[in-house]
Amino acid sequence: MCDCGQAISCWKPPLHEAVMCVLSGVVKGEQQPLDIPSTDPNKFIVAFCGSGTGHLIQALSVVKMMQKQGMTLVGVVADTDANERMMRDMVAPLGVEVLTIPAIKLVDAEKGMVLPPFVLRNTLRAKTQLLEQKETITSFLQRSGAGMMVSFWHITFAFFLMLHPLPPTVKVLHIAAQFAHTSLDVIQLPSPIEVVTKATMEVMAGIFARSGQCITISSREMPDALPPILEMPKLVETMTPRLILCYFLVQADAIALEKLLAKHGSGGAVFHCFTSKQLPEVKGRPLALNSHPKQRALFQELFGKCTGVIVSTGNETIWEAVCRGVPVLTIPTAEHGEQLLNSAVHAINFPNLVRARKKLYLEDVRWVTEFELKEEAVSESLHLRRRVTHLAEQGSPLFAPLTPA
């Protein structure tokens, strides 16, 4: 029984255990090993999930590293959430076969988070679709002959590999920042959605662990963890002119920012905002910001000029902004448990450069537009830059499984 001081948190462990129990039952299945008659340790496949570029950028960085070691990329595994433009601009140039398998839909780009009962339905649906596509997936793996598979939080691919174990001649490595969330103390999590998310991530981490080796990415120096895998941005040299770069997972957050700027002004800064599609025009006035459909090339061009970032709490964009040395305002998508956890962790790790908020407020937007670089913020940026650069130049013992014996 809880004592009085802990009574407010008594509900958290039972909720955590209940979610784990339900999800663990959903993802069970009978194992049927795959027959891959011929594999080459010098050939590899990369897998990434989602509509954002974060996991893909990590995958592309590892592709370059492995190719430098003389290895050959022979395939890419994406999921049905992958953005069409991203696939055309960033994946197609790799010139290899692409396999797209079902995603578990968690977010609607216009409406926000999918409600838990529908997430459960989507999980069952993805499980059924994977079984229906077994021959297609198996054929892809057999044609590739890959002796190494490197996955970046591709949960449905990991689930398939858990149910259909590969022969011991094939190495599977899962790399993701999300693995670090499993170590969070459930009692310290403030809301039910974060407790549910932690439980969900623990079940997912178990699936990854049963289908391959797992490596955590963390901006903090942790045992057996990699620093962020990034394309190192240019360090900011001046905070003028002010250019604020924004990226939101759902349009509602971008619309809220646009209305805030229309009412109170931009504070002399130019705002560029990226969402899944361009914001609709507003009757009777121009938009108070520059709206763009999501596209990597333009985002990167503007990122090299930005003096601040407002973002839905994707890890990679935050790490890149910290490396650039500019302030970051994180606004998690409503009820998006993973983003809520990310937001809190980044604010703790970078107290001078990252401000975590659950809603947009004018004073926080002004914090970004009026931010002045001070010694503490510069120190945070330089520390992360050193770790990221060391990984890119020197590698890590944790990458040993990526090297053919």
Residue 206: which CATH number? 3.40.50
pLDDT digits (tens, 9 = 90+) for 238-293: 999 999 999 998 899 999 999 999 999 999 999 999 998 999 999 999 999 999 99
Q: Annotate 274-294 with DSSP letters as a single string.
A: EESSPPPPBTTB--SSEEEE-
User: Per the domain annotation, does 302 fall within a domain?
Assistant: yes
Rounded to whole angstroms, how far apart are CA atoms 147 and 210?
18
- Whether 109 and 175 map to the same domain: the answer is yes
Same domain, 173 and 264: no
178 and 248 in a common domain: no
Q: Is 227 a member of any domain?
A: no
Residue 313: band (very low, low, confident or very high) from pLDDT cuts 50, 70, 90: confident
The answer to whether residue 395 sits within a structural domain is: no
Total count of domains within the chain: 2
Shared domain for 273 and 127, answered yes or no, is no
Question: Are 156 and 21 in the same domain?
Answer: yes
Q: What is the CATH number of the domain that holds 248?
A: 3.40.50.2000
Answer whether residue 366 shows pLDDT above 80. Answer: yes
Locus of tokens 């790799």: 94
**Do 198 and 255 belong together in one domain?**
no
Q: Which whole number is the average pLDDT over 198-204?
A: 90
Mean pLDDT of 120-143: 91
306-324 mean pLDDT: 95
Beta carbons of 120 and 26 less than 8 angstroms apart:
yes
Q: Can you read off the two tokens belonging to residue 391?
A: 């990984």
> What is the value of pTM for the model shown?
0.91
Q: Are residues 172 and 34 in the same domain?
A: yes
pLDDT in tens, 322-364: 999 999 999 998 888 889 999 989 999 999 999 999 999 999 9
Examine the fold and report which residue of 217, 233, 254 is the final residue of a domain before the chain moves on: 217
Asked if 301 and 207 sit in the same domain, the reply is no
In angstroms, the CA 236 to CA 6 distance is 45
- Position 113 scores a pLDDT of 60
Contact 275, 112 (CB under 8 A): no
Structural contact between residues 203 and 23, judged by C-beta atoms closer than 8 angstroms: yes
CA–CA gap between residue 49 and residue 80 (Å, rounded): 9
Who wins on pLDDT, 111 or 319? 319
CB 215 within 8 A of CB 208: no
Residue 404 lies in a domain: no
For residue 4, the model assigns a pLDDT of 46
Do 196 and 271 fall into the same domain? no
Decide: helix, strand or coil at residue 63.
helix
CB atoms within 10 A of CB 331: 26
pLDDT tens-digit profile of 387-398?
999 998 888 888
* Whether residue 188 sits in one domain with residue 270: no
Domain identity same for 186 and 277: no
- Interacting residues of 125 by C-beta distance below 8 A, sequence separation 6+: 102
CA distance 194 to 67: 39
Q: Are 189 and 255 in the same domain?
A: no
Percent of the chain whose pLDDT exceeds 70: 96
Domain with 205, as residue range(s), is: 5-217
Residue 84 lies in a domain: yes
Phi, psi at 275, each rounded to 5°: -140, 180
- The two tokens of residue 21 are 């129990």
For the segment 110-128, the average pLDDT, to the nearest whole number, is 75
Alpha-carbon gap, residue 27 to 30, rounded angstroms? 10
Q: Answer with the one of 183, 202, 217 that is the final residue of a domain.
A: 217
* 127 within a domain of the structure (yes/no): yes
Q: Does any domain span residue 161?
A: yes
pLDDT of 7 reads: 60
pLDDT in tens, 10-33: 999 999 999 999 888 888 888 999
Question: How far is 251 from 279, CA to CA, in rounded Å?
Answer: 7
Residue 223 lies in a domain: no
Question: Of 173-187, 359-373, 390-404, where does mean pLDDT reach its minimum?
Answer: 390-404
